[in-house]
Each structure stands twice: as structure tokens, then as C-alpha cells.
């Protein structure tokens, strides 16, 4: 299986309002991340867009529909289409979430929570083996935001992730905001999470904002700037992991591109500062 | 409980089933479960709004969202891709608005344009390939994203007005049934209405009948007209619009 080449640039998630600027190659970023499913189509403008963007930028493919935690197994048509897109785009890497999306023919199109059990570990490992074989490369697995736990949980999320990485050979896409949201919702210390992550397997970081839901829950809405506590966690993360590809992920209330670039500049500054401090 | 049982129970509950899932959850699960259930409905409604923009504008937000909620209950999503979720929304609207047929026709147009937008790329036809054709036996090959149907209302005129921000005309029945076709020319989805003569020719050609039969069907649809001339005009138009992508 092909190894992942080192890459530690700064990028943005490409969203529709900003397509023209990305198509023109005018956005000063090191890479862009696109939602894979938006381009897993038969033809037409989406493929024209991805081809043009790829002429200007390295592209990371980020999926939301693989359902890597599905006990019913993966959808082979999905894997076939994703492989076709990957062959076309030649992405930096392919990522998806530690979640499942539906069962028994029903698809929620949401990132549903996993019980963290040994049985689930084996199922996720088996699915990852299948996906990585079909895609011809190791994947990046992203930690989800979570709003419930399961009575049968046998380990914390960070231990589950560490074991999946060890047994499957996959890498990690760490969403720092998701760690913060989940930690608040389930009352654990996010620093403990970061300390347990296998540092040499983290290849990408997502930064985003969240919102306050009812009854004290934080909701991973990705509709706001990265808040200070998430920046603080990011500093801790890059202090431990070293240079890692980092991007701002905004999915709703999309602001002007300049606003996102200003936010990305904060990440660059923090990473540069941390790298300088570590070198000194 | 095995993972497959957990996921099937959770799915059935999310789909609206009267199932108690709280027992398999950790503490204080109620508030978190509500987040997931809300997210599923919001995601599917947003997908329908995105795919059915003109239908949404015609019905208004409140009526459209009510139709979306009904659709989600009647036809849960079964595809891996959210972009397929509009399939069948036209049928839901036809059931909800039996006396307003323009609503389902607008939805068909919205959906067909969306499918054409990301449908298969048509082959490029080489005019030189047409020189040696035995036209009597020729079979026309149409663009893969082509869709067509018969319409009874002025839904196409409503759609056009809404697309340019004009006040749409009141819904009205057409004098007689007409055809509506949707396809993609290059990267641009397109649509237009077709008269009964063109519809007869098109339906014959889309059934895979040879060109001689297409001419015969055209003559039957317009016995007093000049079928040879009309078919020639239609052929030139279809080629120019990118409707025909090959002749065998």
C-alpha cells in the first residue's frame, strides 16, 4: 500500500461561495480540502470544477458517507466511485469519520456515534482494511463530535482511536474542535485525549467553531470562528505533534474568503511560533 | 447487544420508529439523542430545499418544509448519497397537492435539471460521421442526461419567471398536453417545451425506432403538414442543441 508523503501546509475547506476564487487559483493556501461526495458524480460541472482546482492546488478528499463503523459492512459502489475520484484527483490523502450513517437500508446522512467496544474495534478495523485495499492507500480517520455515550462502552474514544491506528495502519485527521465539543459534552479533559493520541500518525488537523445547544450541550455546527479554547488546544496539539497540515473547516454561515484566510493566518502564526520555540 | 443490533435499533428510532433506545445509552442521553434526531430532519430538509429551489420558491418556506417533513416520514433516505434524496419528492408533492398539478411538474423540472447537472458527459458527435449514414435504418442516440415528460400546466413558464426573479404567472392548464424535455448542453442544464409533433418524433426516436419510423410517427402526428421538412428541421435542431450524441 502506498505510504503518505509528508505534507504540512495550511489550507481551507472549499465551499461553493468561494469556488470562483479557487478555480482562478487566487486563494493563497497550500492545499484545499473538498467533500468527496460532492464530486463522486458521473459528469458535468462538478468534475470540471475539481479538475480546474486540482490544476492550482493539492487536494485532500474528505468524505462523510463511507460509514466506516457500519456493522453491515461498506458499500462497494461507494468505494468504487471514491477510487475513481481518487484516480482522477490524485489527492494528498482520503479521510472520513469514525462513525456510521445508517443500517437496515436507512441512511441518516449524519455522523452517528459508535459504542467504543472491542467488537466495534474489530468491525472498524475490518472495514478500514477493505477501504484501504480498495483505495490503494492508507486513510485518515477523523474523530467525531459526540452527544451521547453508550452503556456498553469499554474504553474512551482516544483509546479506541489509538488501537484502530495500531491495528489498521491508518492515520488520523484530528478535529480539535470536535475534541473540545465531545470533552465538554462528556466531561473529560481534552488534554488527556491529546496526550493519548499516537503523535506520529496525525496527518491533518481541522479547526472550526461550535455553538451552545440546549441543556448545556455544545453542538459541532461549524458556523462560527474558531474560539479561544480551541486555539489553546491547537497550540498544545502542534506542540506535541510538530508540523501538521492544518485547515479551517466552515460548513455553515460561510463568511467572505478573507475572513477565513485571516483565521488561517492565526493558525500559521501559532504553528510558526511553536516551531520556533521547539527549535530554540 | 451486538453492534449490528445497536445500529439497527438506533436507525429504526431515527427513522421515526417508536423504539426505546435510551436503555442502550450512557447517562443523560435524552438531550444528545434529540440532537441526532434533529440533525437528520434538518439535513434531509436542507437537501430538498437545495435540489428543489423553484418548487420551494413557488410553495413558500412553510408549505415546502411541511411537504419535506411528510416526505421524510413517507420515504426515508436509502441511498449512500444525499444527492439522490430528491428522487420521489415529485410523487410526494403529487399526493399532497392533487388539485395543483403545477407543483409536481415544477418539482419534476427542478429534479431533472439537478440530475442533468451532474449526469454523464455526452459524447461529442463528429459531423463527418453523418455523411455515410443510411438514414432509413439509422437509430438516433440521445444525450444520457435527457429526461422528458408530458405536462398539463404552465410549470415551465413559472420556473423561468422564478429563475430570473420575476413575478411568476398564475398556475394555469395548457390548452392541450405538451412535452417538456431536460438535458445538458456542455456543462449547462437546459429545458424547453416541445409541441405534439416534436413529441411524437422524440418519443419514437427514444424508443429506439429507426429513422424511417420516426418520420412515419411525425407524419401521423401532423397529417396535414410537411413531415419530411419538419423531421429535417428537428434533426438539425437536436444536433445543434446537443440532444443527439450519435447515429448508428
Inter-chain contact A148–B32, Cβ cutoff 8 Å? yes
CB A228 within 8 A of CB A213: no
pLDDT at A1: 58
Give the chain B residue whose CA is nearest to the CA of A77: B80
Q: How distant is the Cα of B170 from the closest Cα of chain A, in angstroms?
A: 33
Global pTM?
Answer: 0.94
User: How confident is the prediction along chain A (280 residues), in pLDDT tens digits per residue?
Assistant: 557 888 999 999 999 999 999 999 999 999 999 999 999 999 999 999 999 999 999 999 999 999 999 999 999 999 999 999 999 999 999 999 999 999 999 999 999 999 999 999 999 999 999 999 999 999 999 999 999 999 999 999 999 999 999 999 999 999 999 999 999 999 999 999 999 999 999 999 999 999 998 888 999 999 999 999 999 999 999 999 999 999 999 999 999 999 999 999 999 999 998 888 877 7
Interface list for B 96-125 with A (CB within 8 A): 116-121
pLDDT at B127: 78
B164/A contact by beta carbon, under 8 A: no
Q: Mean pLDDT for each 10-residue chunk of chain B (248 residues)?
A: 97 92 91 94 97 98 98 95 95 98 98 96 83 90 93 97 97 93 95 94 95 94 89 93 92
Inter-chain contact A149–B26, Cβ cutoff 8 Å? yes
Please name the residues in contact with B5: beta carbons below 8 A apart, sequence gap of 6 or more.
none
A43/B contact by beta carbon, under 8 A: yes
Inter-chain contact B44–A109, Cβ cutoff 8 Å? yes
pLDDT by residue (tens digit) across B33-56? Answer: 999 999 999 999 999 999 999 999
Distance (Å, rounded) from C-alpha B31 to C-alpha B21? Answer: 13
Inter-chain contact A37–B82, Cβ cutoff 8 Å? yes
A102/B contact by beta carbon, under 8 A: yes
Distance (Å, rounded) from C-alpha B245 to C-alpha A43? Answer: 15
A147/B contact by beta carbon, under 8 A: yes
For A178-202, give the DSSP string.
HHHHHHHHHT--HHHHHHHS-GGGE
The ipTM of this complex is 0.94
pLDDT at B124: 81
Inter-chain contact B32–A185, Cβ cutoff 8 Å? yes
Query: How many CB atoms sit inside 10 A of residue A78's CB?
Result: 21
Distance (Å, rounded) from C-alpha B240 to C-alpha B185? Answer: 10
Q: What is the dihedral of CA A237, A238, A244, A249, to 10 degrees?
A: 60
**HEC profile of chain B:** CCHHHHHHHHHHHHCCCCCCCHHHECCCHHHHHHHHHHHHHHHHHHHHHHHCHHHHHHHCHHHHHHHHHHHHHHCCCCCCCHHHCCCCHHHHHHHHCCCCHHHHHHHHHHHHHHHHHCCCCCCCCCHHHHCCCCHHHCCEEECCCCEEEEEEECHHHHHHHHHCCCCCCCCCEEEEEEEEEEEEECCEEEEEEECHHHHHHHHHHHCCCCHHHHHHHHHHHCCCCCHHHHHHHHHHHHHHCCCEEEEC
Amino acid at each position: 500500500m502506498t505510504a503518505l508523503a509528508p505534507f504540512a501546509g495550511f489550507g481551507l475547506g472549499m465551499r461553493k461561495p468561494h469556488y470562483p476564487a479557487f478555480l482562478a487559483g487566487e486563494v493563497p493556501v497550500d492545499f484545499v480540502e473538498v467533500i468527496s461526495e460532492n464530486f463522486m458524480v458521473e459528469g458535468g460541472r462538478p468534475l470540471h470544477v475539481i479538475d480546474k482546482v486540482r490544476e492550482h492546488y493539492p487536494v485532500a478528499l474528505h468524505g462523510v458517507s463511507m460509514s466506516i463503523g457500519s456493522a453491515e459492512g461498506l458499500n462497494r459502489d461507494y468505494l468504487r466511485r471514491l477510487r475513481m475520484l481518487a484516480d482522477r484527483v490524485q489527492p494528498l490523502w482520503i479521510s472520513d469519520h469514525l462513525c456510521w450513517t445508517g443500517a437496515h437500508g436507512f441512511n441518516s446522512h449524519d455522523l452517528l456515534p459508535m459504542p467504543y467496544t472491542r467488537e466495534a474495534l474489530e468491525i472498524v478495523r475490518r472495514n478500514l482494511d477493505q477501504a484501504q485495499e480498495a483505495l490503494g492507500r492508507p486513510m485518515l480517520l477523523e474523530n467525531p463530535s459526540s452527544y451521547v455515550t453508550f452503556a456498553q462502552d469499554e474504553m474512551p474514544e482516544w483509546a479506541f482511536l489509538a488501537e484502530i491506528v495500531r491495528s489498521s495502519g491508518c492515520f488520523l485527521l484530528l478535529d480539535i474542535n470536535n475534541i473540545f465539543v465531545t470533552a465538554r459534552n462528556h466531561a473529560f479533559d481534552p488534554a488527556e485525549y491529546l496526550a493519548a493520541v499516537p503523535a506520529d500518525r496525525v496527518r491533518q488537523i481541522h479547526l472550526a467553531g461550535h455553538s451552545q445547544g440546549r441543556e448545556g450541550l455544545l453542538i459541532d455546527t461549524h458556523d462560527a470562528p474558531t474560539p479561544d479554547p480551541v486555539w489553546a488546544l491547537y497550540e498544545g496539539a502542534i506542540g506535541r505533534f510538530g508540523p501538521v497540515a492544518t485547515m479551517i473547516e466552515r460548513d455553515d454561515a460561510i463568511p467572505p474568503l478573507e475572513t477565513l484566510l485571516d483565521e488561517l493566518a492565526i493558525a500559521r502564526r501559532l504553528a510558526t511560533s511553536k516551531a520556533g520555540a521547539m527549535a530554540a | 447487544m451486538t453492534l449490528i443490533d445497536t445500529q439497527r435499533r438506533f436507525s429504526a428510532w431515527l427513522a421515526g420508529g417508536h423504539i426505546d433506545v435510551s436503555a442502550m445509552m450512557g447517562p443523560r442521553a435524552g438531550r444528545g439523542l434529540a440532537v441526532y434526531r434533529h440533525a437528520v430532519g434538518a439535513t434531509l430538509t436542507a437537501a430538498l430545499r437545495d435540489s428543489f429551489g423553484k418548487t420551494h420558491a413557488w410553495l413558500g418556506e412553510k408549505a415546502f418544509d411541511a411537504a419535506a417533513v411528510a416526505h421524510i416520514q413517507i420515504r426515508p433516505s436509502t441511498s449512500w448519497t444525499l444527492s439522490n434524496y430528491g428522487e420521489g419528492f415529485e410523487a410526494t408533492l403529487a399526493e399532497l397537492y392533487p388539485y395543483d398539478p403545477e407543483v409536481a411538474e415544477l418539482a419534476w423540472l427542478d429534479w431533472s435539471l439537478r440530475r442533468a447537472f451532474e449526469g454523464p458527459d455526452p459524447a461529442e458527435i463528429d459531423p463527418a460521421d453523418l455523411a455515410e449514414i443510411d438514414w432509413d435504418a439509422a437509430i438516433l442516440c440521445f444525450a444520457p442526461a435527457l429526461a422528458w415528460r408530458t405536462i398539463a400546466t404552465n410549470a415551465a413558464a413559472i420556473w423561468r419567471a422564478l429563475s430570473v426573479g420575476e413575478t411568476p404567472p398564475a398556475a394555469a392548464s395548457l390548452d392541450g398536453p405538451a412535452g417538456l424535455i431536460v438535458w445538458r448542453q456542455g456543462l449547462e442544464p437546459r429545458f424547453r417545451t416541445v409541441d405534439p409533433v416534436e413529441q411524437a418524433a422524440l418519443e419514437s426516436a427514444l424508443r429506439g425506432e429507426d429513422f424511417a419510423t420516426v418520420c412515419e410517427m411525425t407524419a401521423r402526428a401532423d397529417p396535414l403538414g410537411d413531415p419530411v421538412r419538419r423531421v429535417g428541421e428537428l434533426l438539425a435542431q437536436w444536433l445543434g442543441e446537443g440532444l443527439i450524441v450519435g447515429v448508428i
